[in-house]
Chain A
Amino acid sequence: MNKVIRFLEELGESSALRLDKVDFESILNNEEFDEETKKAILNEDPAALKMLMDARHKIVCILIPAEPDEEEDDDDSEEDDSQNDEKTSRIAML
Chain B
Amino acid sequence: MNQIGSYASVGIGMMLGAHITPAAKDHILNADVCFLAASDSLVELWIKELHPNVRSLQSYYASNKSRKDTYREMIEVVLSEVFAGKRVCGIFYGHPGVFAYAPHEIVKRIRAKGGKAIMEPGISAEDCLIADLGLDPGKYGCQQFEASQFLFYDRMIDPSATLILWQIALVGDLSFGCEATSSQCRQVLLEELYKIYPENHKVTLYEAMTLPIGEPRIDVIPLSSLVDVKLNDYTTLVVPPLSKMKRNIKIIEKLKRIHSK
Contacts and interface: CB of A to CB of B under 8 A. Distances in A.
Q: Do A and B come from one complex?
A: yes
Interface of A: 1-2, 5, 8-14, 17, 41, 44-46, 49-50, 53, 55-57, 59-67, 69
Interface string B63-82: 00001100100000000000
Interface in B201-236: 211-215, 233-234
B68 to A, nearest CB: 6
Contact of B41 (A1, A44, A57, A65): A57
Contacts of A46: 40, 42, 211, 213-214
A5 B46 CA distance: 6
Interface of B: 15-19, 37-42, 44-46, 49, 58, 61, 67-68, 71, 92-93, 99-103, 105, 146-149, 152, 166-167, 170, 173, 176, 178, 211-215, 233-234
Nearest to A2: B49
B16 A61 contact: no
Given A5-B46, A46-B213, A56-B58, A65 B17 contact: no
Contact of B99 (A10, A11, A63): A63
A66 B170 CA distance: 10
Contact of B167 (A53, A59, A62): A62
B17 A11 contact: yes
